């Protein structure tokens, strides 16, 4: 057993990088090679069909089913030229992964042979088995029908020999069973709400787009060592393992030289990602050993989510080719940083960026403040829901661990924006927008001064930080589907903007009836003065109301937990209970009013979340019990027996009293092993019994709570004793690769 571990470690350290043959073209020339991009649409589709499809993609026009056959014909011609033989509807069920069922381009020709065919009907919808995917009780086992429907706003792409068609996934009765359908509804809601507000400042605004730039963190582990760790294979994280003497304390890995094997893997990954039109731009070493990051250029949110899900699948495939396994679990190793997926979120119109740092134009500055404040309002009113949107059994290990944002949602704004909002709230009307910039400029209503924003002082403890022209939602976990956080965030912001506009319009209507031109002279530039005054008045109210969400201090401190509690923010830490926020009356009302999800869909999704949490902890508990009883205790007792023989031999040679004195250290170790193995055996039995009790609970919510409260804590206690044994037992006998071996492969 020991020799096997040493063998896989030796093989891991001796591996050489594979050679990656890069395309001779520059990246810009092969970007999107395997995607049905607009230039390919133009080439393979008739002009009128192309124009109708582009209108659907750009302007949200209704999809004309009459063009589906023509589009399918063009797609198939392109696919044939690239050696494609199959097609699949590619969707994102509630499994946190993607799903696909491949069908060949063949049909009976009626003459005993086959013909290759791909129709508009096959392009537009298919019928996967809805009952076999998580659905929270929406579909019974015998009610299998469900539908996947083409999303033309996300381009079709080729993987190997298969044409992949991004789709939504709904039940036979119309409920969403995926992430894409509610995400698209949330994006539509924020487009409608934000466009209406943006037209206060620019009547030419036609559309508001939500942009997303994700930063994907991940670990790489040598495949041989991965295979020798059943816990990594079955749960995605190490359930035991003592700290390496050297881990990340020297800060020498962060932004360091990328190891050769990893560099080759990254190069291969980027080439394939770029061919799929995933705009990878950044790569670097992260803080922990063997931890890395890849990040793209910003994209429209729906497409960015699809690209992230596609990239995570691609990473796993490419990593195995290079002898690695990718770990996307938020906390695969104890004692070092876990992995997140920062979601950089912004709003832009067809005329500019709404959150862009303002300049000298007063209308742009007022618009900037409006969208910053209403974003904060959405985050404040639904801070518990936003936390629920990023919470999972795996991310719970990372949040609040002095390496990632705490499990309390707050927003860091930076000194300049903070001072501006405070000044707007408290200043007199005649001195409303004075702020100390680099030169201390003073301007009168309605002009907001030029902001000289410098966001180099980013607060890494803030879950939702303003960083110049965007907000960075840092709390999202590395293996999560970004759509979950984006649904909640965009819904919350859309609701805040709707509420803001209703109140502004009410004030304008009220004051317009008693308006005198001399009171509100209109210069013809920007909003009508009466509208401007109403906007400012509502903003002042909202700045005061959402003040509790604004926190620029240390989110890791115990004092912040107490302060957040006083402010009325959600400080709950239990993952299953946090999910309750989806079913709060205000959450249900928001989702239903914005036509994103109904009560039935929300309840079903929570059932899935609770069941998923239970199953993940259940699997971890079973794996830990198995490893403890079948790996750890046998190895420890074997070493104990060896020491006992040594003690017996020494007593035989030197006599009982002198032999005991000589072997006192070994005797102490024998006693320690006996005590720890007995404790582990007892605790494993208690762990099994706790699982049995929890498994008898019928309510998925109560079962998940039981697993959190009674099963999960026992695992930590068992791990403590196993990790102590790892330091005690002879290295040559320990069967599982250790942290020093898993984390430092070059």
Flag the least confident range among 338-342, 343-347, 402-406, 724-728: 402-406
Q: If you average pLDDT over each of 303-312, 419-428, 461-470, which comes out highest?
A: 303-312
What pLDDT is recorded for position 734? 94
DSSP letters of 155-215?
--EEETTEEEEEEEEEETTS-B-BSHHHHHHHHHHHHHHHHHHHTTT-TT---EEEEEEEE
Mean pLDDT confidence for 417-445? 55
- Residue 150 · residue 53 · CB < 8 Å: no
Please report which confidence band the pLDDT of residue 115 belongs to, taking 50, 70 and 90 as the band edges. confident
Whether 176 and 187 have beta carbons less than 8 Å apart is answered as no
Residue 549 is given by DSSP the state G
pLDDT tier for residue 681 given thresholds of 50, 70 and 90: very high
Average pLDDT over residues 305-314: 97
What is the share, in percent, of the chain residues with pLDDT greater than 70?
91
pLDDT band at 459 (very low <50, low <70, confident <90, very high): low
3-state secondary structure of 126: strand
Task: Evaluate whether 206 touches 350 at the Cβ level (below 8 Å).
Answer: yes
DSSP state at residue 631: I
- 251 - beta bridge partners? none
Choose among 33, 74, 31, 32: nearest CA to 52: 74
Cβ atoms of 558 and 568 within 8 Å: the answer is no
| Helix/strand/coil for 273 | helix
Residue 308 makes CB contacts below 8 A (sequence gap 6+) with 214, 216, 341, 481, 482
Q: How confident is the model at residue 686 (pLDDT cuts 50, 70, 90)?
A: very high
Phi, psi of 473 (to 5 degrees): -85, 95
Output the six-digit token pair for 125.
Answer: 């919808």
Helix axes 585-593, 599-627, angle to 10 degrees: 120
Q: What is the pLDDT of residues 268-304, one digit of tens each?
A: 999 999 999 999 999 999 999 999 999 999 999 999 9
Whether pLDDT at 430 is above 80: no
Residue from 579, 581, 424, 592 nearest 494 by CA = 592
Q: Give, in degrees to the nearest 5, the angle at Cα 49 between 44 and 51.
A: 105
- How many helices (H) and strands (E) would you count in the chain? 26, 18
Output the pLDDT for position 447.
36
Q: Which residue has the higher pLDDT, 160 or 660?
A: 160
pLDDT of 450 > 90? The answer is: no
Q: Where are the alpha helices (DSSP H) in 549-663?
A: 558-567, 575-578, 585-593, 599-627, 633-654, 656-662
> What per-residue confidence (pLDDT) applies to 433?
44
Confidence class of residue 178 from pLDDT cuts 50, 70 and 90?
very high
Mean predicted confidence (pLDDT) in 131-139: 82
Q: Using pLDDT thresholds of 50, 70 and 90, give the confidence band for residue 445.
A: very low
H/E segment holding residue 320:
helix 301-321
* Cβ count near 195 (within 10 Å): 17
Q: What is the pLDDT of residue 138?
A: 84
pLDDT (0 to 100) of residue 678: 97
Quote the pLDDT of residue 358: 61
Maximum distance among all alpha carbons in the chain? Answer: 112
4: pLDDT strictly greater than 60: yes
Segment among 18-27, 523-532, 558-567, 649-658 with least mean pLDDT: 523-532
Determine contact, residues 169/93, Cβ cutoff 8 Å. Answer: yes
Measured between alpha carbons, how far is 520 from 512 in angstroms, rounded to an integer? Answer: 10
DSSP result, 377-422 = HHHHHTHHHHHHHH--TTGGGTTTSSSS--SS--EE--HHHHHHHH
On the CB side of 543, CA atoms within 13 Å amount to 21
Supply the pLDDT for residue 427: 66
What pLDDT, on the 0 to 100 scale, is given for residue 580? Answer: 97
Cβ count near 672 (within 10 Å): 15
* Strands in 76-177 per DSSP E: 86-90, 102-104, 107-108, 114-115, 125-126, 146-150, 157-159, 162-171
How high is the pLDDT of residue 401? 62
Q: What confidence score (pLDDT) does residue 721 get?
A: 97
C-alpha 540, offset from chain centre: 33
Query: Taking a C-beta distance cutoff of 8 angstroms, is the pair 86, 92 a contact?
Result: no
Confidence band (pLDDT; 50, 70, 90) for 59? confident
- 48-82 core/surface letters (b: 16 or more CB in 10 A; e: else): ebbebbbebbeeeeebeeebbbbbbbbbbebbeee
* pLDDT tens digits, 505-547: 999 988 776 555 444 444 445 667 888 889 999 999 999 999 9
- Which residue is associated with the tokens 């971890």? 620
Are 91 and 166 spatial neighbours (Cβ–Cβ below 8 Å)? Answer: yes
Q: Give CA–CA dist 572/324, Å, rounded.
A: 37
63-72, 242-251, 301-310, 452-461: which range is least confident on average?
452-461
- Phi and psi for 572 in degrees, rounded to 5? -60, 140
CA atoms within a 13 Å half-sphere pointing along the CA-CB vector of 117: 12
Q: Residue 226: how many CA atoms within 13 Å on its side-chain side?
A: 19
Residue burial 404-422, b: 16+ Cβ < 10 Å; e: rest: bbbbbbbbbbbebbeebbe
Q: In angstroms, rounded to a whole number, what is the distance separating the alpha carbons of residues 246 and 230?
A: 24
Residue 223 structure tokens: 């495949």
Phi, psi (deg, nearest 5) at residue 243? -55, 145
**Residues 580-609: pLDDT tens digits?**
999 999 999 999 999 999 999 999 999 999
The three-class DSSP label of residue 440 is: coil
Would you call 57 helix, strand, or coil by DSSP? Answer: helix
CB 182 within 8 A of CB 315: no
Long-range contacts of 43-50 (CB under 8 A, 24+ apart): 43/78, 44/74, 44/75, 44/77, 44/78, 45/70, 45/71, 45/74, 46/70, 49/74
Rounded Cα–Cα distance for residues 341 and 337 (Å): 13
356 has a pLDDT exceeding 90: no
């Amino acid at each position: 057993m020991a020799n096997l571990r040493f063998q896989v470690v030796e093989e891991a350290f001796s591996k050489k990088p594979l050679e990656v043959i890069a395309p001779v073209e520059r990246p810009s020339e092969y970007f999107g090679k395997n995607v049905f991009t607009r230039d390919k649409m133009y080439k393979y589709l008739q002009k009128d069909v192309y124009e109708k499809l582009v209108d659907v993609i750009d302007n949200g026009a209704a999809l004309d089913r009459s063009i589906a056959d023509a589009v399918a014909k063009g797609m198939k011609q392109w696919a044939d030229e690239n050696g494609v033989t199959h097609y699949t509807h590619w969707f994102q069920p509630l499994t946190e992964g993607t799903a696909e069922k491949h069908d060949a381009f063949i049909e009976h020709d009626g003459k005993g042979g086959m013909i290759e065919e791909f129709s508009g009907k096959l392009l537009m919808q298919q019928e996967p088995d809805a009952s076999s995917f998580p659905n929270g009780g929406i579909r019974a086992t015998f009610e299998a029908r469900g539908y996947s429907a083409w999303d033309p706003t996300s381009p079709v792409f080729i993987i190997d020999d298969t044409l992949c068609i991004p789709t939504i996934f709904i039940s036979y009765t119309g409920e969403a069973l995926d992430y894409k359908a509610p995400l698209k509804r949330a994006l539509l809601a924020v487009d409608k709400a934000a466009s209406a507000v943006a037209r206060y400042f620019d009547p030419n605004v036609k559309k508001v787009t939500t942009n997303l730039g994700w930063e994907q963190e991940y670990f790489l582990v040598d495949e041989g060592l991965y295979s020798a760790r059943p816990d990594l294979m079955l749960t995605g994280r190490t359930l035991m393992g003592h700290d390496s003497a050297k881990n990340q304390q020297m800060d020498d890995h962060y932004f360091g030289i990328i190891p050769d094997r990893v560099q080759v893997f990254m190069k291969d990954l980027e080439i394939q990602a770029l061919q799929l039109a995933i705009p990878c731009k950044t790569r670097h070493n992260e803080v922990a050993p063997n931890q890395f990051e890849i990040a793209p250029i910003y994209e429209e949110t729906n497409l960015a989510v699809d690209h992230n899900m596609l990239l995570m699948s691609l990473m796993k495939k490419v990593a195995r080719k290079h002898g690695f396994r990718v770990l996307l679990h938020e906390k695969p190793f104890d004692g070092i940083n876990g992995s997140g997926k920062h979601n950089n979120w912004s709003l832009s119109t067809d005329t500019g960026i709404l959150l862009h740092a303002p300049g000298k134009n007063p209308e742009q500055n007022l618009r900037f403040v409006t969208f910053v404040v209403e974003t904060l309002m959405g985050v404040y009113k639904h801070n518990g829901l936003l936390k629920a949107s990023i919470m999972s059994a795996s991310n719970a290990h990372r949040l609040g661990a002095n390496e990632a944002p705490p499990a309390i949602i707050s927003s860091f704004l930076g000194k300049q924006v903070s001072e501006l909002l405070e000044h707007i709230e408290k200043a007199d009307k005649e001195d409303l927008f004075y702020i100390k910039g680099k030169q201390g400029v003073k301007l009168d209503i309605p002009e907001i001064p030029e902001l000289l924003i410098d966001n180099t002082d980013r607060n890494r403890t803030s879950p939702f930080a303003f960083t110049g022209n965007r907000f960075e939602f840092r709390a999202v976990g590395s293996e999560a589907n970004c759509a979950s956080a984006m649904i909640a965030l965009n819904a919350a912001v859309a609701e805040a903007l709707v509420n803001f506009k209703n109140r502004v319009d009410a004030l304008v209507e009220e004051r317009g009836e008693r308006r005198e031109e001399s009171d509100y002279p209109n210069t013809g530039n920007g909003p009508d003065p009466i509208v401007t005054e109403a906007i400012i008045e509502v903003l002042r109210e909202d700045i005061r109301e959402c003040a509790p969400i604004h926190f620029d201090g240390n989110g890791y401190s115990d004092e912040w937990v107490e302060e957040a509690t006083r402010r009325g923010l959600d400080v709950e830490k239990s993952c299953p209970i946090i999910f309750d926020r989806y079913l709060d009356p205000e959450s249900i009302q928001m989702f239903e009013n914005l036509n994103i999800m109904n009560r039935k869909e929300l309840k079903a999704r929570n059932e899935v979340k609770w069941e998923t949490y239970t199953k993940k902890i259940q699997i971890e508990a079973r794996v830990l019990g198995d490893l403890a009883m079948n790996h750890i205790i046998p190895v420890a007792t074997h070493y104990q027996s060896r020491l006992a023989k040594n003690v017996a031999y020494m007593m035989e040679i030197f006599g009982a009293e002198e032999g005991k004195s000589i072997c006192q250290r070994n005797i102490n170790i024998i006693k320690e092993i006996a005590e720890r193995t007995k404790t582990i055996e007892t605790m494993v039995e208690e762990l099994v019994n706790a699982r049995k009790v929890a498994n008898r609970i019928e309510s998925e919510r109560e079962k998940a709570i039981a697993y959190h409260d009674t099963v999960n804590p026992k695992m930590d206690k068992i791990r403590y004793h196993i990790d102590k044994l790892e330091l005690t037992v002879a290295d040559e006998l320990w069967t599982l690769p250790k942290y020093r071996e898993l984390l430092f492969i070059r």
